Amino acid sequence: MTDNVFASNALDAAYLAPAHAPGSGNCFTGPLGPVLPADLATAMACPATAVTAPGHQGPLDTPPAPPGLPFLDVALPPAQPQLPDAATAPASPFGGAPAPVDPADLPVPTATFLADRSRDHR
């Protein structure tokens, strides 16, 4: 992430990859506020290197899962008659890569975006 726009969050960025599936090639540059782990900004400074990033090492205070049906309990979809050969059909070539995106053209949400949903309502 570069040129981050974080403000007034309890936690601005977190890297929570478990030790058995660590990530690599991720990096942060620019302003960072509260992060987890505490040394995230230095441990994952850009440019990214081939060094495996640190996994989350401590307890994390996470909210409970939302109510509803657990993902693993969702029934498989029925047969799709409009796709009779989906499992064996050859792949279709993609029509081309999308045009490059200039981050400067993307709007940044207001500082109060989702503030009504924060834990401390800041």
Residues of the domain holding 38: 14-52
Q: What is the pLDDT of residues 96-105, one digit of tens each?
A: 888 888 888 9
d(CA 42, CA 29): 9
Q: Which of 92, 18, 109, 101 is nearest to 57 (CA)?
A: 18
Q: Are 54 and 37 in contact (CB under 8 A)?
A: yes
Evaluate if pTM is beyond 0.95: no
Q: How many structural domains are present in the chain?
A: 1
Q: Is residue 43 part of a domain?
A: yes
Which residue is listed with tokens 């693993």?
72
Q: Is residue 2 part of a domain?
A: no
The pLDDT score that the predictor gives to residue 50 is 46
Q: Is residue 39 part of a domain?
A: yes
Q: Are 32 and 12 in contact (CB under 8 A)?
A: yes
The pLDDT score that the predictor gives to residue 60 is 55
Q: Is residue 46 part of a domain?
A: yes
The pLDDT score that the predictor gives to residue 108 is 86
The pLDDT score that the predictor gives to residue 51 is 47
Low-confidence residues of the chain: pLDDT under 70: 1-4, 48-63, 65-66, 120-122
